[in-house]
């Protein structure tokens, strides 16, 4: 692996937006060494738009690669991009967000100044929800329990040492939602060396119904349940993480109930987990489910206090 950072951007049916995202990367005060765009089987003109952008920006001092990944799903696209990375560090960015111009310089500064080496660099991002911009919440330290409840290791909150991420296996391609949350749990379970780049929040991440993040749980409750089960398989021997997963499942069930949707599958999974937690935590789970079902926010912070 050569020195420097690669940015990987998976994209699907974003012909009207992808050029804006790539332009924001190209405007950085310090450019990544490599930019990899992975078209994930788009049915519009996205692939042609990416290739045209690549040609128009061939003079930039960064290698630009456009790949095609026919297997549908962000996990397949990200893993395809990961396999083509040639630099020591890799960062994954979504195709409908705006890149911070100082990001690459700040990341490379902290990577190069770490005295003992790091595996991941955590950073907060700015999210736009309902027309309001605010930093995405996080908490220290990074443990399986804090990741399960806060989901702070999302796709755009982490820079990875490439070889370390390859050893971890990348994204779980059986999952079509919450795959970044599940990867974050495996990251936390592996006890990486973490550097915290928290001087400010970076980028502008837009949350909307057609984004990779999406809004609402009801339309993807089965996919969320699959992610909960995948995490359960990863943390089976960690008592604190099992409690956190039980509380998270109750929060998900409460969210579904609040949306007027079917929470029976998630509640059944929580019941499976309940045999591994104590009476106090079962009561806490019931209270959290009720709390969230009434539309109240911040349940994950309350759950952290209940561990």
Taking a C-beta distance cutoff of 8 angstroms, is the pair 170, 90 a contact?
A: no
CATH number reported for the structural domain that contains residue 62 in this entry: 3.90.550.10
> How is 102-132 classified by DSSP, letter by letter?
THHHHHHHHHHH-SS--SEEE--EEEEETTE
How far apart, in whole angstroms, are the C-alpha atoms of residue 135 and residue 127? 6
Q: Residue 266: which of 305, 307, 222, 298 has the closest Cα?
A: 222
User: Would 271 be classed as within a structural domain?
Assistant: yes
- Strand arrangement of the beta sheet that strand 194-196 belongs to: 63-68, 34-39, 2-11, 87-92, 158-161, 120-122, 194-196
**pTM recorded for the entire structure:** 0.93
pLDDT, tens digit, 9 for 90 and up, residues 177-193: 999 999 999 999 999 99
Residue 212 has pLDDT above 70, yes or no: no
Range of the structural domain that residue 53 is part of: 2-206
Residue-wise pLDDT tens digits, 137-151: 899 999 999 999 999
Q: Do 199 and 247 fall within a single domain?
A: no
CA-nearest of 207, 134, 128, 214 to 179 is 214
With respect to residue 212, please indicate whether it lies within any of the assigned structural domains.
Answer: no
Per-residue pLDDT tens over the stretch 58-102: 999 999 999 999 999 999 999 999 999 999 999 999 999 999 999
User: What is the average per-residue pLDDT within 225-241?
Assistant: 94
Does 157 share its domain with 22? yes
Answer yes or no: do 188 and 247 share one domain.
no
> Is there a single domain that holds both residue 191 and residue 142?
yes
Question: How many CB atoms are closer than 10 A to CB 162?
Answer: 18
Structurally, the chain folds into a number of domains equal to: 2
Answer yes or no: do 201 and 226 share one domain: no
Question: Do residue 123 and residue 16 come from a single domain?
Answer: yes
**Which residue has tokens 């329990």?**
145
Q: Are residues 127 and 15 in the same domain?
A: yes
Of 175, 206, 237, which residue is a domain's last? 206
Question: Strand pairing of 158-161 and 87-92?
Answer: antiparallel
Q: Which of 172, 206, 240 is the last residue of a domain?
A: 206
Would you say residue 95 lies in a domain?
yes
Is residue 40 in a domain?
A: yes
What per-residue confidence (pLDDT) applies to 130?
Answer: 78
Residues 250-268: tens digit of each pLDDT: 999 999 999 999 999 999 9
């Amino acid at each position: 692996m050569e020195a420097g950072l690669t940015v990987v951007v998976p994209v699907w049916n974003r012909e009207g937006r992808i050029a804006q995202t790539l332009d924001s990367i190209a405007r950085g005060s310090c450019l990544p060494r490599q930019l990899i765009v992975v078209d994930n089987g788009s049915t519009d003109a996205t692939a042609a738009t990416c290739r045209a952008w690549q040609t128009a920006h061939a003079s930039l001092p960064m290698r630009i690669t456009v790949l095609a990944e026919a297997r549908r799903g962000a996990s397949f696209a990200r893993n395809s991009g990961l396999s083509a990375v040639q630099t020591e560090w890799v960062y994954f960015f979504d195709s409908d967000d705006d890149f911070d111009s100082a990001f690459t310089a700040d990341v490379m500064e902290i990577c190069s100044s770490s005295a003992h080496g790091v595996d991941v660099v955590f950073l907060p991002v700015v999210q736009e929800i309902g027309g309001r911009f605010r930093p995405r919440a996080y908490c220290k330290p990074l443990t399986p329990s804090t990741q399960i409840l806060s989901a702070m290791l999302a796709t755009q909150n982490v820079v990875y040492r490439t070889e370390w991420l390859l050893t971890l296996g990348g994204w779980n391609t059986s999952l079509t939602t919450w795959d970044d949350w599940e990867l974050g749990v495996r990251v936390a379970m592996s006890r990486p060396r973490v550097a915290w780049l928290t001087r400010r929040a970076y980028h502008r991440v837009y949350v909307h119904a057609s984004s990779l993040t999406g809004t609402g749980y009801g339309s993807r409750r089965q996919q969320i349940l699959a992610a909960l089960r995948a995490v359960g398989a990863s943390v089976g021997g960690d008592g604190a993480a099992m409690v956190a997963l039980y509380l998270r499942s109750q929060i998900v069930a409460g969210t579904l109930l609040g949306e007027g949707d079917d929470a029976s599958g998630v509640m059944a999974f929580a019941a499976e987990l309940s045999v591994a937690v104590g009476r106090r935590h079962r009561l806490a789970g019931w209270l959290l489910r009720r709390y969230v079902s009434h539309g109240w926010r911040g349940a994950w912070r309350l759950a952290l206090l209940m561990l």
